Amino acid sequence: MNSPRARYRVHPALRLLPLPLSIALCLPALADDKPESWALCPINEPIPAFAGTAEPDPENGTPMEQREARAEQATTIDGDHMGGNRDNLEYQGNVALRRGDQFLGADNLAFNQEDNTYVADGNVRYQDSGIRLIAESARGNQDQDNHQIDNVRYQLVSRRGNGGADRIEMNGPEGNMYHSTYSTCDPDDRWWELRARRIEVNTDTGWGVARASTIRLGNVPIMFVPWVKFPIDDRRHTGLLYPAIGLSGRNGFDYEQPIYLNLAPNYDATLSPRYMSERGTSLGAEFRYMYRGGRGIIEGNYMPSDDLLQEHWNDFADGSNPPTPNKLANTPDPGDSRGMLRYSGYHNLDEHWQARANLTWLSDPRYTEDFGNSIAGLATTSTTSTIGLYGNGLGWTAGIMADTWQLTDYTTSELSLPYNRLPRLYANWDRPFGPWLKAGVYAEAVNFQHNERDDGSRIDIKPYISMPLQGASWFVTPTLAWRQTSYRLDPELADQRALISANRYVAENGGSVTPELVARLRDESPSRNMPIGSLDAGLFFDRETKFGGTSYLHTLEPRLFYLNVPYRDQSAIPVFDTRAFTYSWGQMFRDNRYTSADRQADANQLTLALSTRFLRESDGFERLSASIGQITYFEDSRVTLDGESPIEKGKSAWVADANWAPSDRWTIGAAYQYDPKYHREDLASVRARYLVGSDGVVNLSYRRRYEQFEQGDFSFLYPITPSWSVVGRYYYSFSGKTPDDDNKLLEGIAGVQWDSCCLAVRALVRRYVRNREGEMNNSFQVEFVLKGLGSAGQNTERTLRRGILGYYRDDLYLVPPSNTTVDPDDDIYDVPDMNL
């Protein structure tokens, strides 16, 4: 019988060809999670969408989810003609089968309902949410679930990738792909390709085995793998990850081979054995876990012996690195083992409370320097471990925590470490009372301990009341606070502070330090009570103006801040965790120039400041901003830290800051501090940034601080052509803290990048300060990125992203996320968020 084109609905037993999506995906299953740029790829797809088919909709779920959803759906068949008989159906002319997101098209389709066999030939086309392919023919048995597809070409839809195979055979969940290829390159411009003589897959286990596979750059095979086992779907599996290979003057040839262990759906581990030709072998490990209420990560590294330690001792012997007592005490013996252990995680108790920990242990004070590759690590002298319980709610925060410190600077001693806080309790509360009043309190209790110093404890309570008055163009906020701080000191510490108080008393009143005076001033429970009054007020003026035909909103924002705090002698109070703020714009509007409660500065001062901005009215873009301010001290500020000089009556240094954007690509900024009393420049900083194209950037900065440093920093990512770009950094110190310090290169990077649609290569050389003695390290890094498959070599992007601000353009606009806000509805199986 014959019929004009009609649609037929058949039983689900007549399934669409179960074309092996898993086979088509098995080659790119090793793809890297890092997003790739396909900007240089041709617009035309290797296999365009078939006429009459719908484009995949990600809102319908992942390809695997859609495949599971269509399991029981019926199949509809369209064709120009239907012939044959009841047992042997024949469809001819533009045959189209549809089920869910699946489409199968062919010129002819024959189906035998007695044995459930089928044959499709002539322009066979298949498409679903994950793949699009064409083939010469397809045949199989639906009952036995045996299928064969000949002369296949495919394209991945959910991610870029294409290839082909001479033949695909499937027997239930098991299948074979013969003489297959995979690449993310355009078929006419094959920069790289993965070829395999045969690939065996099992969709039940999620595993594939490739035999006699090669990776080719152009037509040149660069890697041959006789046998490799790998995952073929989104399920995680135990196996090898891509290695990291490098070469440097400190480590020599450096090879690291990560081994991934899939232990359970919600926890896994990675082992990272590493070989360094100049130092030896080490084993790194990482364990990650997650559950509905939290997650965490444990990292460690162990090195049974390190040849670099012998080099350190040789430096001591030949005099190139003088062996001070601290260096000798903090440098391990050549035969010692070295290691690191770190834990970071949290647990949500409820919507208000969270337990959180960041713990670190290092085997020795030289570990950070010897195992790091960033000059930023040389600026830190210690590392901290913290564990605590933290809460927050409407108008309140509270917590109990403990922290300890470990030395990471082998040139100093543990005496320089901050006090451990074991424990620290704190609570903050504030709330409005009507439209004009606001009250709150800050409270803290801390027990301080130190291995090399005497211990003590502190309770600090600071209630306040304020009256925030404001209008459309003004605000006035008077605030009155009372600070009460009490201490409990060890007897030895009380003796030390009594002697300091006695010396201060003699300096102010004359006489001599006597045992009687020291005894009179000795106090194991010193305290301090004082009021703090402030008035913060400002105005806001604005007008519309035009420059170059562009409309701007020009603002003028004067502000004053008056602070009055009476003097209290605090020489009997030790300094546990307090230091002075760096003088800056923000510090001019604080009620204390010290960071913590051990010192509350006395003050009778007025800050006068003025800011102005030009905002583009069309989009709010800030074309220009400038601020200037100064503090007037009406009286001497006598409270100081030990060894610090009082602030005398008069004027502070001017603080000025300006930012100007000549265009949407240019940003120029400057900061300046000038002290009129001493006729000196305290700080000068100039910075400029230019954005090149869609991803290029050039940064230039210069900064100097009086008697501390003078540095310049030039970095860039500059595209020469769409494919070629150069990268570099020159970070230089013109002088150190003393005139005897030599000018010195801190870090130099020079490199080149080549990019295509599917292949990228990055090569760079780097010279940087390797230790606190100023010795330099040289390294050479190369990374090959086969887009959609992975990368080989060292992680050059990490080095460049750290050294060149804007190497990732989004870094210029990111706002760091809160480390206290956690979604309590986190799904324990939300694997992408965990980056498993």
The predicted model scores a pTM of 0.77
Residue type, 437: L
At 740, the pLDDT band (50, 70, 90 cuts) reads: very low
Buried b (16+ CB within 10 A) or exposed e, 260-287: bbeeeebbbbeebebebeebbebebbbb
Query: Is 30's pLDDT higher than 50?
Result: no
Count of positions (residues) in the chain: 836
Distance from C-alpha of 259 to C-alpha of 270, rounded to nearest angstrom: 5
The backbone region for 64, taken as left when phi is positive above 0, alpha when psi lies in -120 to 50, beta otherwise, is alpha
Alpha-carbon distance of 242 to 178, in angstroms, equals: 25
pLDDT at 714: 97
- Decide if 820 is inside a domain: no
Q: Please, are residues 103 and 124 in contact by the beta-carbon 8 Å criterion?
A: no
Listed residue (570, 566, 630) closest to 603, CA to CA: 566
Higher pLDDT, 659 or 60: 659
How many Cβ atoms sit within 10 Å of the Cβ of residue 833?
12
Angstrom distance (rounded) from CA 409 to CA 377: 10
290 within domain boundaries:
no
Name the pLDDT band for 791 (thresholds 50, 70, 90).
confident
Q: Is the pLDDT of residue 793 over 90?
A: no
So what's the pLDDT on residue 445? 97
Of 189-203, 770-784, 812-826, the range with the lowest mean pLDDT is: 812-826
Closest listed residue to residue 294, CA positions, set 362, 363, 346: 346
- Burial string for 140-163 (b: 16+ CB within 10 Å, else e) reads bebeeeebebbebbbbbbeebbbb
Residue type, 740: D
Question: Which residue, 156, 231, 129, 187, is CA-closest to 788?
Answer: 156
Contact predicate 271/259, CB 8 Å? yes
Tracing tokens 């959803």 back to the chain, one arrives at 69
Q: For residue 202, what pLDDT is reported?
A: 78
Nearest to 587 by CA among 603, 575, 574: 603
* 134, 139, 141, 144 alpha-carbon torsion, rounded to 10°: -70
Closest CA to 576 of 520, 499, 493: 493
Closest CA to 712 of 699, 737, 731, 689: 731
Residue range 512-551, pLDDT digits in tens: 888 888 898 899 999 999 999 999 999 999 999 998 889 9
DSSP letter assigned to residue 161: -
Q: Side-chain half-sphere of 431: how many Cα atoms within 13 Å?
A: 7
Distance CA 245, CA 229 (A): 22
Q: What is the pLDDT of residue 829?
A: 27
How far, in Å, CA of 513 to CA of 508, rounded?
A: 12
The percent of residues in the chain predicted with pLDDT above 90, rounded, is 46
Provide the domain limits for residue 49.
6-235
**Alpha-carbon gap, residue 26 to 229, rounded angstroms:** 10
Higher-confidence residue: 353 or 27? 353
User: And the tokens for 821?
Assistant: 């806000």
Measure the CA angle with vertex 243, ends 238 and 245; round to 5°. Answer: 165
Q: Give the pair of three-digit tokens for residue 668.
A: 């120029």
Is 114 within 8 Å of 142 (Cβ atoms)?
A: no
127: CATH: 2.60.450.10
Is the pLDDT at 557 greater than 90? The verdict is yes
pLDDT of residue 6: 46
Q: What is the CA radius of gyration of the chain?
A: 35
Q: Which helix (H) or strand (E) is 58 found in, with range?
A: none
Highest mean pLDDT among 106-110, 349-353, 785-789, 794-798: 349-353
Q: Is the pLDDT of residue 820 over 50?
A: no
Coil/strand/helix, residue 337: coil
pLDDT at 816: 45
Asked whether the predicted pLDDT for residue 634 surpasses 80, the reply is yes
Apex 644 CA angle, 640 and 647, nearest 5: 65
Provide the pLDDT for residue 80. 83
145 is a domain residue: yes
Q: Is the pLDDT of residue 831 over 60?
A: no
Q: Is position 342 within any domain? A: no
Does a structural domain hold residue 468?
A: no
Higher pLDDT, 746 or 609: 609
pLDDT tens column, 184-195: 888 888 888 888
Region 459-463 average pLDDT: 97
Shortest CA distance to 526 belongs to which of 595, 596, 598? 598
Confidence of residue 482 (pLDDT cuts 50, 70, 90): very high
Q: Three-class SS of residue 829?
A: coil
User: Are 588 and 558 spatial neighbours (Cβ–Cβ below 8 Å)?
Assistant: no
Identify whether the C-beta of residue 156 lies closer than 8 Å to the C-beta of residue 131: yes
Asked whether the beta carbons of 723 and 39 are under 8 A apart, the reply is: no
Question: At residue 269, does pLDDT exceed 90?
Answer: yes
Which tens digits make up the pLDDT trace of 676-720? 988 899 999 999 999 998 889 999 999 999 888 899 999 999 999
Domain count, the chain: 1
Q: Quick one: pLDDT at residue 12?
A: 36
Pairing type for strands 146-156 and 131-141 reads antiparallel
Instruction: Quote the tokens at residue 397.
Output: 């925060």
Rounded to the nearest 5 degrees, what angle is found at the Cα of 13, between the Cα atoms of 11 and 16? 95
For residue 182, being part of any structural domain is answered with yes
Is residue 97 domain-resident? yes
- Beta pairing partners, 606: 562, 632
What span, in angstroms and rounded, lies between the C-alpha atoms of 678 and 707?
14
For residues 68, 69, 74, 75, the Cα torsion angle rounded to the nearest 10 degrees is: -70
**What is the band of 438 on the pLDDT scale with cuts at 50, 70, 90?**
very high
| 350 domain-assigned | no
